Structure 1
Amino acid sequence: MMFQKITEKDSNHNDLEKKSVRELIDGMYCEDQNALKAVGEVKDQTEKLIKKVVKQLKNGGRLFYIGAGTSGRLGVLDASECPPTFGTEPEKVIGLIAGGDYALRHSVESAEDDTKKGWDDLQEKFINSHDILIGIAASGTTPYVLGGLSEAQKNGIPTGCIVCNLNSPIAKVSDFPIEVIVGPEFVTGSSRMKAGTAQKLILNSITTATMINLGHIKGSKMIDMKLSNEKLKGRAELIVIEATGVDLVLAQKLIKENGGVRGAIDAFNKK
């Protein structure tokens, strides 16, 4: 099958400027359902990639995301959520975006056109064959991502991708490609919409399923979360109370003395 950029095709909706706010909302909602359906259709691909991520991280490796624009920002977002949610070190899941941290808040669209910069950025983090690299690019053609994945593959580093077009150049240099086909965007070519939604859902699955497999969740509770604010401290207290049957005062004492939820529960169970 020939490579076609479905993400660049004309929208299924026209005359948007003539529509009411409710009509616009209804149209976007309709298209968002297509994104959700598309994610469901790639569960097999997602499962294969996650199993490889788990294997690499269990053996001491790291998970890298690489992307540009919206895709890059989503990767950085997912990586940045892992330490507070799962208690991992910041170096365990790393998100790289074309243009660096400045590109998180500002448009640096030209940064994605450098085919060598992606690999340069990865080498600065000393990426190696114990790690795994996932490229995120709705189009499947972003040079920054393509170059990084290609060089990683040449160096024996496992690769995966999340793209929204079939048979893309990026999928061809990915050992575990996820091709989630969401169709044309509501606003033609604006892949921050459906494509971004689908990518975020898949990223959620990757890190959440991985961290569960690595033992950071007990039951459904975040036993390794960082207690960095009052909301999380309160959540931790409730988890300890539920797991041990102690009252609030003792739960607070256990958490303080043992550095968090996991330590508190372990200390109680050793008594």
Structure 2
Amino acid sequence: MNTSNLGNLWSNGQIQKWRRCPLNDSVLLAVTDVVRRNHIQKWLQKAGYSILVAEHLSSAMIHAKQSPPDIIIVDSALEGMKSFQVLHSFQTEKQQVPVIVLGTDGTEEAAAALEAGANDYIFDWTDEREFKARVGNLIHLFRRSKINHTKYKEQIISIGDLSINPSSRQVLRSGKPIDLTRKEFELLLYLARRKDEVCAREEILMNVWDYDFHTGTNVVDVYILHLREKMDKGYKWKLIQTVRGAGYLLRTPAGERNS
């Protein structure tokens, strides 16, 4: 994919821009179905959002990198979206943007999108009020998350032989670096800030994936499995523990708990 000339994309109509509204929140909209796209565009413009329409996945990714919007809405039917792994391309180290996937296939596709990093999945898009509420809610949650991140980012967290630097995103165990994906790191950081507290799956979904209700997805369990493989394998003390029927916790080694 050639990302060298964003100006050409603006000039040939692959990206279209509308005047920014007083609300000052911008939406990057990449939807294939014209009827669907026009409805959503009108709803969001009426709500005061500034809308940027990208007709292709490549142009959407270019703009998301060079001028990140407040939220991205992308169609699962867009060419190149089949595995959803491309969702990671919308994020940068400096700018985390919520992504909503507009679906066409229901539950299985929803689970795949969420597991790949989407923050919400909308199958039935026809209710204007619900659609706008989901968009507004995600933007609000991400802003709150950024505030919390700024509050905590300089504090290095130590739990047993585990060290987490929220600012540099470096994770060490017994001095050895652990390579984590963005979402794995966010999950670990969430558990670490609540060490020795049981965190329910629904609570984790809401705070790590910014998802405000349970959809039956096992994304939390999948990511916990990934963390255990990377952090606990080969160590006598297992930091990540399961509380049956309740959730997960990051447990301080027994000898340090009351120190």
Same fold (TM over 0.5): no
Task: From the CA coordinates, give the structure whose radius of gyration is larger.
Answer: 1
Q: Which has the higher contact order (CA 8 A, sep 6+)?
A: 1
TM-score (norm. length: structure 2): 0.32
**Larger strand percent:** 2
**Larger helix percent:** 1
